[in-house]
Structure 1
Amino acid sequence: MRIGPMNLASPVVLAPMAGVTNVAFRTLCRELELARAGTVSGLYVCEMVTARALVERHPVTMHMTTFGPDESPRSLQLYTVDPDTTYAAARMIATEGLADHIDLNFGCPVPKVTRRGGGSALPYKRRLFGRIVAAAVRACADTDIPVTVKFRVGIDDEHHTYLDAGRIAAAEGAAAVALHARTAAQRYSGTADWDRIAELKALLPDVPVLGNGDIFNAGDAVAMMDRTGCDGVVIGRGCLGRPWLFAELSAVFNGEPVATPPNLGEVADIIRRHGALLSAHFGEDKGMRDIRKHIAWYLHGFPAGADLRRALALVKTLDELDTLLDGLDPDVPFGPHAAGPRGRQGSPGSVTLPEGWLDDPDDLTVPVGADVMNSGG
């Protein structure tokens, strides 16, 4: 799959997920793809950072943009609401060599974001949306950095924005677009409507269109591409607790046999490696606090016992993690009991928007206070 000057051997993209797709997780996914499929072929995107915080060089944000020494291409997603800030952030990335690819996030459905007009609320303001995309493209015009755009079907079933968003993004120079086939009102509940991806691809035959939503195994990815005609897939919750999924996807798309999923002993070793990478990135204390949520995803469906699960949910050191993992039965195979979605699901709900947000889709007013946060959802 080609995205601007980037030629990817696999049409697979790791979705940026706040608090998940840091350098530790991306390194682990890449290591497992290399070990199990013999290659690193997809695109692994850094967790979302706020353009304003990047321009202001907020220490937490700058730490979030850490890439591994051999990570290529380096992909960074920006959350932004202001064309001027977007230009400044993208120009900073370009001139300082901070990344090789920029993705713009207009898909976040979290209430704290939409209530200020950001994330999946913003494409409704189509002229403002277009100017933001144009600003990022203009900032990278003298470089080889492609700009891509990710968005949702719309705010809710009465306010679909995905076709306008795709058309506008392509017209303003986006190298590719990605559609999470849910509305903001759905959040992560229900079923992704893959037919919307097919409609977007039909509208944009000459622009790479990536599909996102309900891909939990390699078969799902193949099915999405066959059904919609999309050019690639974006993997989010499907890889939580299963970072080896990218190796399976790489094998399928390259016509190679898929390796047997790891048994519980191998999963324990993957957890150990993940814990070590998180500790190297954050320090042991924060690294162990961060690994706890991942452990729950890793052990989904596996027999572990209530006492051991509770102890792992409170793990404080790498040595303690190692000792506790020794309590797992290493011979338990990965099977249907360990499959299925992880992470956020929840329920649909009404989308909180700024007062009067739906009155004028051509309003160019930048939403106030929507770019204050330093990380996204």
Structure 2
Amino acid sequence: MNDSADNALPPISVEPLQIGDLVIDPPILQAPMAGYTNYAFRQIVREYGGVGLQATEMVSARSFVWLDQQAEFPDRLWGVEDEARPLAVQMWDNDPDTMARVGERLVGEFGVSVVDINFGCPVKQVTQSAHSGSYLLRWPEKMFSIIQRVVQACAPTPVTAKIRLGCSRECINAHEIAQVVEEAGAAALTVHGRTAADFFKGSADWEKISEIKPYLKKIPLIGNGDLDSAAKVVEAFRSYNVDGVMIARACLGRPWLFAQAAAALKGEPVPADPSLTEQRACLLRHYDLVVKRFGVEKGTMLMRKFACCYATGMYGARAFRTAAAKVSSQAEFYEIVENLFPRDPAPEAVESAGAS
């Protein structure tokens, strides 16, 4: 669904989100996504506006410590020190001491607004190989230890947690986990409406997310999953018992989605999607920011998947996506964007269509 400027949704009363002493207004969060939500993407989102709290890519606490010992800087923290606030950094591991050590560094040296702990990632590298992410949903007592240690290390900066409904449809334990998260001292809980076994198949279960709210005494509940339009964001607040929402994959090729959702919550006309010419310019600015940080060769490689995101769902975009997925040089990238990225119809074509 593409909300247009002529489509003002009925207003809904939504309070700002309170995470510890931090006020998030509007209560719309940008999800941390590995390989995507780097500084360049966050900058693009910030320019469109509408996001209450942004997050970095998730950071491996163990890798952070190792890189620090080698006097190296984690790429995933690119831009964090000088970036606008509020800003969250999400980290993952299964060792409370390592997590606390890194959390303390994120707060003390990087000055982040929120430290988020990932208990939801379902990928094998994190779950099976590192016994972290959603793997830990099997071990609530371990989660408690991790959260408690990180909260102590990061105080007074708020610590939050992100989970899934459970490990599988046969083992949905989010109600129990929610209480553990709160009792350990976390300041907010985000729940993705699928289980770890689901990965991203099927639909997010917002009823199940909503059912968690009564189990939380003081901290807010943030819902996540399948929010791909301003209308769905409004519906999430209208129909489900959540205090905030988190937008993930849908924003990767549509960084203006937050501004549309924020307008919709106020009952204002929802801004139309930018023209294809404007979207092309946005993609090129994104590319230039990445190249400036990583150099032409690595930056071009990193932008392959992002370029494909920008053209998702567009008519006639298959040729562009196919070419973008294989691009290997800066000149080739510019050529592909110029020649294959979908274009706005010519004015005479629009007039002809309107008259027919």
3-state SS, counterpart of residue 81 of structure 1: coil
With normalisation by structure 1, the TM-score equals 0.81
- What does 1:293-372 align with in structure 2 at a 5 Å threshold? 293-304=305-316, 307-327=319-339, 328=341, 330-332=343-345
Q: Percent identity?
A: 36
Task: Return the alpha-carbon distance in structure 2 between the equivalents of residues 305 and 54 of structure 1.
Answer: 38
- Are residues 197 and 266 of structure 1, via their aligned partners in 2, closer, same or farther at CA, if it must alter by over 3 Å? same
Say if 2:122 and 2:133, in contact at 8 Å, map to a contact too.
Answer: yes
3-state SS, counterpart of residue 186 of structure 1: coil
Partner in structure 2 of residue 85 of structure 1: 98
Say if 1:201 and 1:228, in contact at 8 Å, map to a contact too.
Answer: no
- Are residues 255 and 158 of structure 1, via their aligned partners in 2, closer, same or farther at CA, if it must alter by over 3 Å? same
Task: Return the alpha-carbon distance in structure 2 between the equivalents of residues 51 and 119 of structure 1.
Answer: 12
Matched, 1:206 2:218: yes
C-alpha displacement of 1:61:
6.0
Q: Deviations over 1:312-364 (max 9, x none)?
A: 3333444443333232453249xxxxxxxxxxxxxxxxxxxxxxxxxxxxxxx
Which structure is higher in RCO with an 8 Å CA cutoff and minimum separation 6? Answer: 1
- 45-54 vs 279-288, which moves further: 279-288
Partner in structure 2 of residue 268 of structure 1: 280
Q: Deviations over 1:190-228 (max 9, x none)?
A: 111111111111211521100011111111111122222
Task: Return the alpha-carbon distance in structure 2 between the equivalents of residues 25 and 258 of structure 1.
Answer: 22
Matched, 1:189 2:201: yes
Task: Return the alpha-carbon distance in structure 2 between the equivalents of residues 265 and 253 of structure 1.
Answer: 28
Amino acid at match of 1:212: N
- 2-11 vs 131-140, which moves further: 2-11
Partner in structure 1 of residue 39 of structure 2: 23
3-state SS, counterpart of residue 233 of structure 1: strand
- 218-227 vs 298-307, which moves further: 298-307
Partner in structure 2 of residue 343 of structure 1: none
Partner in structure 2 of residue 2 of structure 1: 18
Say if 1:67 and 1:74, in contact at 8 Å, map to a contact too.
Answer: no
Partner in structure 2 of residue 45 of structure 1: 55
Task: Return the alpha-carbon distance in structure 2 between the equivalents of residues 306 and 181 of structure 1.
Answer: 30
3-state SS, counterpart of residue 178 of structure 1: strand
Partner in structure 2 of residue 254 of structure 1: 266
- 76-85 vs 296-305, which moves further: 296-305
Say if 1:74 and 1:100, in contact at 8 Å, map to a contact too.
Answer: yes
C-alpha displacement of 1:303:
3.6
Amino acid at match of 2:113: D
C-alpha displacement of 1:41:
4.3
C-alpha displacement of 1:118:
1.4
Say if 1:264 and 1:302, in contact at 8 Å, map to a contact too.
Answer: no
Amino acid at match of 1:132: I
Task: Return the alpha-carbon distance in structure 2 between the equivalents of residues 305 and 151 of structure 1.
Answer: 34
Q: CA RMSD in A?
A: 2.0
